[in-house]
A and B are shown apart, each in its own frame.
Chain A
């Protein structure tokens, strides 16, 4: 260390701060004039610190998770009370359902009601949209060992989707409920009134021909009706919605715009039209 006289050293120490402040201004100018230097220094520093941060990342994450969990713990008690109350209510409903089921069984025994056989179904994959003579139809792949007939009912996982209209060796065409050619007899679940669901090629089929005095109620559920022997009774179709112009429409349960798989039910029904009465559509090329 260089030995300096005491007054010189004092003067130097008094000078350090102004010199360093000047150096700070110099740094600022340097950083402003050449942004690459600052960027490179920052990168070097983060390279040096990266292992440190990596080592501390896990404990820091645990602490952050614990902190984030805290409000959840506070609300847990409230949630518990709410769930208990809900459980209580659901148990009451369950009791009501069990009682009704028992009563139903009792009444059926007294009426000698013949129960319907559970329908069998096959699931097939939708391979193409539309095509053919119909605006709203899908093509489904049918393996050769699968027996598909005209008039079978197609449902997706939520509700009624359409009817099989044409059957080939490896594929079948399903006419969707939204097609303008589709007519489905339906029952309003609340009032048991009958009506027709008429396709419009739009996303919501229209509801028509209900009996006088049984105006469909907004939000009422619709199920298929067995009238006309085209469909079995009680398949879920959709709910009643009124359009802005006041027309009764059906919001379908099935999501026809994104069909992946459909279930084909064979109810053994002949269909509205016997298969032989429907002429095969002429191939397009001969027009």
Chain B
């Protein structure tokens, strides 16, 4: 060590960077998967179905990593990537986030299956909210099939996201305990 005798150059800096990275990782992962899902996959319902499980998962298990501003930005990205009217994705995700955060004390203690069932409700409710907003903004009744398709896809994708993000969450917890 060349710096013997001097005080360690702010050990908290590294830790702060680390904490920042931990806090930024979930929204960044969400944005990345959304960009990939918005590519030419041939499934327009994939994009919202990829977004909702991540927002709800982090809101339940690590609300610090998915703060309301982050949810807002993710929703804005969702609206820009999809061709939905601007703001509808933002609103539905914010509502889902708010509900998940307010129920998290109860939900975080439940088994995976119970959380999944609740998430299915979330998927249906956000789909319905998006449908209503769409109808209100365009003054027409859009066909309901895409909404149901999207909700079913989100519900089906949730276990995969929960598995991967749960691993990530545990890794973060371990890193925080070690620090």
Contacts and interface: CB of A to CB of B under 8 A. Distances in A.
Interface of B: 35-36, 38-41, 67-69, 71-72, 75-77, 79-81, 85-88, 90-91, 94-95, 97-98, 133, 137
A182 to B, nearest CB: 56
6 contacts: A21-B94, A21-B95, A21-B98, A28-B90, A45-B77, A60-B39
Interface string A91-131: 00000000000000000000000000000000000000000
B88 to A, nearest CB: 7
Interface stretch (A30-38, A202-210, A237-245): A30-38
Most chain A CB atoms below 10 A, which of B40, B87, B95: B87
Given A23-B72, A45-B80, A60-B40, A31 B91 contact: no
Interface in A16-57: 16-17, 20-21, 23-32, 37-38, 41-42, 45, 49, 52-53, 56-57
Interface residues on A, range: 20 to 34
Given A21-B94, A49-B35, A28 B72 contact: no
Q: Is the interface of A mostly helix, strand, loop or mixed?
A: helix
B87 A25 contact: yes
Interface string A118-149: 00000000000000000000000000000000
B124 to A, nearest CB: 20
Contact of B85 (A32, A49, A56): A32
Contacts of A30: 86-87
Most chain B CB atoms below 10 A, which of A25, A27, A45: A27
B166 to A, nearest CB: 25
A269 B35 CA distance: 77
A39 to B, nearest CB: 10
